Structure 1
Amino acid sequence: MTGGPPAGGPGRRALRFVADVRPGEWALALAFAGYFFLVITTFWILKPLRTSQFLGALGAKHLPWARLVTATLVLPLGALLAWLSARVPRRGLLLGVAGAFGVGHLVFWILDPLVPPVWVHVPFYFWVDLFVTANVALFWSFLNEHVTAESAKRLFGIIGAGGMLGGILGSALAGFLAPVVGGRQLLLLTAAPTAATFVLILWLDRRLRRAREAAIPAPAPAWAEAPATSARAAWDGLAMVVRSPYLLGILAIVTAYEVSSVIADYQFSAHVAAEFPGRALGDARTAFLGRFSLATGIAGLAIQLLATSAIQRRLGLGAALAVLPLALLAGAGAFAAFPGLVAAAVWFGADATLNYGIHQTSKEALYAPTSVAEKYRAKAFIDIFGVRLAKALGAAVVWGLLAADLPLRWQAAAAIGVALLWLWAVRSTARRFDRRAAGGETASEDRGPSGSPAGLRRPGG
């Protein structure tokens, strides 16, 4: 074959070390990576701004209750998405959610100079959380509808790298433009990635539709259709999780991560608020947060490209899932020994670097050997209800320790205990994943017309 390195040559081996994308898969893999890139770019333009504005309006001491409020607000959002996923065509759902949040960003831009800051900046904090919750959950569900356990381990590395690049670009825009144009103008920047998201959703829908039409004539397979209509879609997701030890294991991993992350996030935010106090330093605080996120994003991208797929394929998904809890265990230990801004930055930086760098793509791969209903209903329950309730639990832990007026080291001690439970959940869930993947336990509706896993579909088969 011409036009590339031989199959066994060093160039091909180096490429496969980063991502084992096979002939015919590149277009869809890059399109999904681009979709994720745009969602995360928007989020990281907004995240430094929303954190800075909240700290300026209310201070770090109010962050725990803000987490609790977010968990409450997300409940109706999750129920709405689950209900819509059973009734609205996939393309319409993805476009509608992206468009609704895009309009919302513009509304906050209009209100900012007209309303007292506390009445805009505090709701905006919650709005950004709802944005990322809805769009990321829908993205991964859409992706998981078209991959199998085998292709997930090969492709999620490069697709996740799209998110890492988005984090880098969004953080850079926030970090370097906030002092120049002002934080409010960052909201207008989100219009570009939102418009590009519309284009990619339409392209992906058309490409996947053509792939199904080009397949062997047969009744449309269930893996290519929307989940069955149900008025109790959200409760269906809960029931699926409760009945499945495997899904319960995923929920345990998600819960442990979110609790650990909330504790690390609070420590970092509190020290940043002390370093850049008040609303007068708002743009400087936004710039610092954006540049810190940029640094962790670059480190995370390097891990994503050079290590994630290799660890998943060579050491297994369990090893990839164990990296982050081990790192946070070390970070919490360092903070317990030497509390301060530097230790808090290292602790939270490990979270920010490794979550997108290796943990999220590894966690999402756990959903590959599940049915379409589980991918949308159970996954939606975990990603929306489970994640937010876990964040609320983490906030309650922080709030309780602050109310008891205990030294900051107690928060680190709590994080260490959670990390140990997290490692236990990783071990048991990874074993179940291996059994499902090896034993063909993926539900029959996830298989293509020939009976073999549908994989990442492409035109012609």
Structure 2
Amino acid sequence: MAITLQRLFNVHRAEVAPVALSVLFFFCVLTALMMLRPAREALGMQGGLDAVRWLFVGTALVTLLVNPVFGTLVSRFRRIVFISATYLFFASSLVVFYLLIVFTPDVVGLITGQIFYVWFSVFNLFSSMVFWALMSDRYSLEQSKRFFALIAVGGTLGAIFGPWLASVLAAPLGTPALLLVSSGFLILALCAATMLVRIQPAHTTQDDDELEGRPRPDAGVIGGGAWDGIKAVFQSGYLTGIAVYVVILAVMATFLYFTRLQMVAALGGGVDARTTLFAQIDLITQIATLVIQVLVSGHLMKRLGVHITLALLPVTALLGFVGLALAGSLAALIIFESAFRAVQRAIMRPARETLFTVVSAEDKYKAKAFIDTFVYRAGDVAGAQLEGALGRLAMGLAAVASVAVPLAIVWAVLALWLGRTQQRIAVSDRSGHIPAGLPSPNTLGKGAST
């Protein structure tokens, strides 16, 4: 069994238990999210596309307000405490939404749908961010290259299972009950996280040197201030680079998102029809993601390096927007979005998360929270407003492609720089000196491991 796991997934015997818990953790988180996502999309569209753009602004503001609260929790409590607080808050919020829908159905309307849209967007970002922050804290750089892609498979399976489970339970239990089921999966995710942080990190002969002196993922309080993560992003060239990478990612994803909304809106139909179409697109995307993860992702970072792996999504975006501008059909959009999301989730996301394995524990949670929530949503807002401005030029997809293509080139160059800088930081941490070409400590700020 151990030999089979090592050959297929590059996981050693001592790593099986923590990796299995990580897969289960991500499976439960994505199941909870994807059960509700199609409804989020349909509810958000009730006020029109301009309303969705303003919902993006609202989401960005909420994430900015939540970040110092999360930073305070990180500073004052052990990891399992603030991780538990995060998931318990969202789980209890789902129960509150359920009670509102069941006992006060008259107040459920456009405004309530928009509130749910913003809440779900924040929920989506923070639940995924906390998961990956724990992963980068729990595993070394060498380990992350070997099985972050495998752990991501758990999320993909959850993203497939969630919509399927929703379709099975919606009729007998009613749609509101799905909120309680989603809340239950968050509790299961928290149970997996609790077990994971209590397992001693698994050392192997390949990474013993790298992990020497590495603390347990729940070793003590991280400390610092509530705003330290935000300051670290602007003080560290490496973290700033990650933030810019995320902004471009968000802009590209938003271009694609609004293109999809426009094409679906043009088809007509009510909320149910749109929810069904969104669910079908999500299912196609998740299947494509799973195929890539099973066939190629497991060994991609080890063979190509993080820098090349990070650059694959910008190349996909470049080719996709050119093809979409030329074809201009819903079928072309579905193909492009499926490829973009599959590469994003199966290849880019695990590679991007390895970037945080070489920073301090404080930056893994605080700076990462700021980047993965507010910075990402700020990119959403920028992309939404820019897409709206391009739409007013009445040039269609050609206008979007004229911006997306050069931006994708910048994105690819940044990806190469980030991957190489990460490797240099890792080498400097092991050797105790900074190799030639590595930015100075003043430039890196808090980006290097401590």
User: Which residue of the partner structure matches residue 421 of structure 2?
Assistant: 432
Inter-partner Cα distance in structure 1 for 2:197 and 2:265: 44
- Among candidates 11, 28, 46, match of residue 21 of structure 1: 11
Distance 1:103 1:82, change over 3 A: same
Distance 1:352 1:175, change over 3 A: farther
Kindly indicate whether the alpha-carbon contact (under 8 Å) linking 2:138 and 2:197 is maintained by their aligned counterparts in 1.
no
> Secondary structure of the residue that 1:329 maps to in structure 2?
helix
User: Which residue of the partner structure matches residue 438 of structure 2?
Assistant: none
User: Which residue of the partner structure matches residue 382 of structure 1?
Assistant: 371
Inter-partner Cα distance in structure 2 for 1:54 and 1:62: 8
- Among candidates 29, 34, 59, match of residue 70 of structure 1: 59
- Among candidates 239, 256, 260, match of residue 231 of structure 2: 239
Kindly indicate whether the alpha-carbon contact (under 8 Å) linking 2:49 and 2:261 is maintained by their aligned counterparts in 1.
yes
Distance 1:17 1:314, change over 3 A: farther
- Among candidates 185, 193, 196, match of residue 204 of structure 1: 196
Shift of 1:326: 1.1
Inter-partner Cα distance in structure 2 for 1:223 and 1:357: 25
> Secondary structure of the residue that 1:190 maps to in structure 2?
helix
When structure 1 is superposed on structure 2, of 41-50 and 197-206 the one drifting more is: 197-206
Inter-partner Cα distance in structure 2 for 1:367 and 1:438: 15
User: Which residue of the partner structure matches residue 80 of structure 1?
Assistant: 69
Kindly indicate whether the alpha-carbon contact (under 8 Å) linking 2:28 and 2:185 is maintained by their aligned counterparts in 1.
yes
- Among candidates 278, 288, 309, match of residue 277 of structure 2: 288
- Among candidates 219, 222, 231, match of residue 225 of structure 1: 219
Distance 1:299 1:41, change over 3 A: same
Please state if 1:300 is matched with 2:289.
yes
Kindly indicate whether the alpha-carbon contact (under 8 Å) linking 1:18 and 1:305 is maintained by their aligned counterparts in 2.
no
Kindly indicate whether the alpha-carbon contact (under 8 Å) linking 2:87 and 2:187 is maintained by their aligned counterparts in 1.
no
Code of the residue aligned with 2:52 in structure 1: it is L
- Among candidates 182, 193, 197, match of residue 185 of structure 2: 193
Inter-partner Cα distance in structure 2 for 1:368 and 1:443: 17
User: Which residue of the partner structure matches residue 448 of structure 2?
Assistant: none
User: Which residue of the partner structure matches residue 208 of structure 2?
Assistant: none
When structure 1 is superposed on structure 2, of 87-96 and 356-365 the one drifting more is: 87-96
Shift of 1:209: 9.5
Kindly indicate whether the alpha-carbon contact (under 8 Å) linking 2:318 and 2:408 is maintained by their aligned counterparts in 1.
yes
Distance 1:220 1:415, change over 3 A: closer
Which runs of 5 or more residues in structure 2 are unaligned? 204-211, 434-450
Inter-partner Cα distance in structure 2 for 1:329 and 1:420: 8
- Among candidates 123, 140, 155, match of residue 163 of structure 1: 155
Kindly indicate whether the alpha-carbon contact (under 8 Å) linking 1:260 and 1:394 is maintained by their aligned counterparts in 2.
yes
Shift of 1:89: 2.1
Distance 1:382 1:255, change over 3 A: same
Shift of 1:36: 1.2
Which runs of 5 or more residues in structure 1 are unaligned? 6-11, 212-217, 445-461
Kindly indicate whether the alpha-carbon contact (under 8 Å) linking 1:17 and 1:309 is maintained by their aligned counterparts in 2.
no
Kindly indicate whether the alpha-carbon contact (under 8 Å) linking 1:168 and 1:297 is maintained by their aligned counterparts in 2.
yes
- Among candidates 230, 233, 244, match of residue 252 of structure 1: 244
> Secondary structure of the residue that 2:357 maps to in structure 1?
coil
Distance 1:150 1:272, change over 3 A: same
> Secondary structure of the residue that 1:225 maps to in structure 2?
coil
Please state if 1:327 is matched with 2:316.
yes
Shift of 1:255: 1.1
When structure 1 is superposed on structure 2, of 346-355 and 38-47 the one drifting more is: 346-355
Code of the residue aligned with 1:48 in structure 2: it is P
User: Which residue of the partner structure matches residue 303 of structure 2?
Assistant: 314
Inter-partner Cα distance in structure 2 for 1:187 and 1:274: 30
> Secondary structure of the residue that 1:145 maps to in structure 2?
helix
Shift of 1:105: 1.4
> Secondary structure of the residue that 1:230 maps to in structure 2?
coil
When structure 1 is superposed on structure 2, of 256-265 and 315-324 the one drifting more is: 315-324
Once the two structures are superposed, residues 404-435 of structure 1 have per-residue CA deviations (whole angstroms, 9 ceiling, x without a partner) of 44433212222222211110101111111222
Please state if 1:267 is matched with 2:256.
no
Distance 1:399 1:178, change over 3 A: farther
When structure 1 is superposed on structure 2, of 102-111 and 175-184 the one drifting more is: 175-184
User: Which residue of the partner structure matches residue 133 of structure 2?
Assistant: 141
Code of the residue aligned with 1:357 in structure 2: it is A
Inter-partner Cα distance in structure 2 for 1:313 and 1:136: 24
Inter-partner Cα distance in structure 2 for 1:193 and 1:172: 14
Code of the residue aligned with 2:302 in structure 1: it is R
Inter-partner Cα distance in structure 1 for 2:184 and 2:215: 36
Distance 1:307 1:132, change over 3 A: same
> Secondary structure of the residue that 1:283 maps to in structure 2?
helix
C-alpha RMSD over aligned residues: 2.7
